[in-house]
Amino acid sequence: MADKDLRKYSKIVVDGVEQAPSRAMLRAVGFEDADFKKPQIGIASTWSMVTPCNMHINKLAEDVNKGTDNAGGKGIIYNVITISDGISMGTEGMKYSLVSREVIADSVETVSGCMGHDAIITIGGCDKNMPGLLMGMARLNRPSIFIYGGTIQPGPNHTNVVSVFEAVGGHAAGKVSDIELKEIEDTAIPGPGSCGGMYTANTMASAIEAMGMSLPNSSAQDAISPEKENDCLSAGEAIMHLVEHDIKPSDIMTRAAFENAIKVTIALGGSTNAVLHLLAMAHTIGVELSLDDFTELGRSIPMLADLKPSGKYLMSELIKIGGIQPLMKMMLDAGMLDGSCMTVTGKTMAENLANVAPYPDGQDIIRPLDNPIKKDSHLRVLRGNLAPTGSVAKITGKEGLSFTGNARVFESEEDCMKGILDGTVVKDDVLVIRYEGPKGAPGMREMLSPTAAIMGAGLGESVALITDGRFSGGSHGFVVGHVTPEAYDGGPIAIVQNGDRISIDAESNTVSLELSDAEIAARLEKWQKPEPRYKRGVLAKYIATVASASEGAVTDKYLG
């Protein structure tokens, strides 16, 4: 390797007399003569102190840099932004959450593209920055590895961030005292790492590992652990192997790899956000993927993991029994996964899993294939006259498989939250939250605050909720999101009225407004498109460019 020039992009920036100014500036940030002949590895760190998910990633980035330098590359750390869903949840600020995915992808493409990095390692620790990082790497299509920042430890009494949200609803219902609420607030989130259940962060980390874009076990390591440190150090050697053999994201992120990711997501009972993000990632790398693929693949894949939010266990407990590698080996042996897919190890999935031991006897976190929690997918793509181009629900079966009730309509998440906390919402309601889609909100806010308040108020089994927004991975209950077309685009959800009957059926995969076609058409004819809520800035640009949720809510689909 030492005699072979592995620099495909950086040599354009640093070689030759005319690039002396470039070299001069790089010397100021630590380059020495020998470094200019090494492949430059961009290390995109999402470190910040805005969220516990990312507060430790500066240390992980230093470990990656050390591993890269040890392996013969020249690591260059740079930062990209991150936001916190959990902190901004239920506020106007949450409208920036999904937008941040695009900003992060733009940042990785911009920095590594500009600076001529020969390869890229990205480190993510919260749900939007992970798909954003993958999309940025996919756009440049240079040898790349993703590293997960790792999961958080649970708080006392098995608590986590969702415990706090649900305690708010319990407090409003008189079931949680002021003292109890304060105690949960003080202790549920004890330190660094991503939210502890099979919420969106752990879902996406698992999907990315199943896709082959992170090293084995990267998704199943505690944020502060020797294993996570070794994951970062090992990435340096792995990235140099990818550079030497010119193995790029397009060689790994194939159609078969996306199918593997979807199947593992289903087996784990993962978040509905995985649908949105996998669609976006597939679009970015040029793989054809649609909502219908989730339905088709889900017919033969069971849900096996008893993980929160609908289950009992946290990610830290799955880590202790081996993470997702034994699950993938079990699925591979059963013919459910394509073991021929290339991964960032430079080996196939089957080669990576060859010596993985099964789960220990007696564990009940991951069920055997012949005794699943649900025999097919919990991710349901529902269509009908209320969602002609699709919607996404997470139905584990614990909520029941169908629900019919009376519409109670809210024009925003805040209005719905008030209705739950003041007792307006009652049994047999189907809550309709609209104008919260990608364009209407804008930004397609997550509805963890209302769904958690419903649970905390004891209404989880007696009301349903549908929205053109989306849900946190921590949401559970009978909830349907990603309704398309969204209200802002004149979808039928825009003309629902209080008292209309709505039926949701997760077996026939339908969501229906019990009105005649003529009545729906008449109401739509009277509907008037609202003014956009933002006219300047990043949210205005997002409204102008974002595609439907059924297409991944990407911002470059219709640019020509």
Contact assessment for residue 154 and residue 162, using Cβ atoms and an 8 Å cutoff: no
Residue 93: exposed, middle, or buried by beta-carbon count in 10 A (0-12, 13-18, 19+)? middle
Coil, helix or strand at residue 402: strand
Question: Which amino acid, one-letter code, is at 522?
Answer: A
* DSSP code string of 426-461: -TTEEEEE-S-STTTTTS--B-HHHHHHHHHTT-TT
Distance in angstroms (rounded) separating the CA atoms of residues 335 and 50: 43
Beta 501-505 vs 510-513: how paired, if at all? antiparallel
- DSSP code of residue 384: E
Angle between helices 413-421 and 448-456 (to 10 degrees): 10
Distance in angstroms (rounded) separating the CA atoms of residues 39 and 79: 20
Question: Could you tell me the end-to-end alpha-carbon distance of the chain, in angstroms, rounded to an integer?
Answer: 41
Distance in angstroms (rounded) separating the CA atoms of residues 484 and 548: 7
Catalytic residue at 45? no
Contact assessment for residue 151 and residue 124, using Cβ atoms and an 8 Å cutoff: no
Question: Which amino acid, one-letter code, is at 464?
Answer: A
Residue 49: exposed, middle, or buried by beta-carbon count in 10 A (0-12, 13-18, 19+)? exposed
Coil, helix or strand at residue 379: strand
Query: 255 — phi, psi (to 5°)?
Result: -55, -45
- Give the bridge partners for 119, in sequence order: 41
Given 271, 472, 548, 550, the catalytic residue: 472
Contact assessment for residue 475 and residue 447, using Cβ atoms and an 8 Å cutoff: yes
In sequence order, the 6+-apart residues with CB closer than 8 A to the CB of 17 are none
- DSSP code of residue 155: B
From 550, 6, 4, 18, select the one nearest 289 (Cα to Cα): 550
From 196, 216, 422, 235, select the one nearest 314 (Cα to Cα): 196
Residues constituting the chain: 560
Contact assessment for residue 138 and residue 108, using Cβ atoms and an 8 Å cutoff: no
Sign, Cα dihedral of 305, 309, 314, 319: positive
Pick left, alpha or beta for residue 537 (phi over 0 → left; psi -120 to 50 → alpha; otherwise beta).
left
A 10 A CB-CB count for 401 gives 15
Distance in angstroms (rounded) separating the CA atoms of residues 280 and 275: 9
Question: Which amino acid, one-letter code, is at 499?
Answer: G
Which residues are tagged catalytic? 472
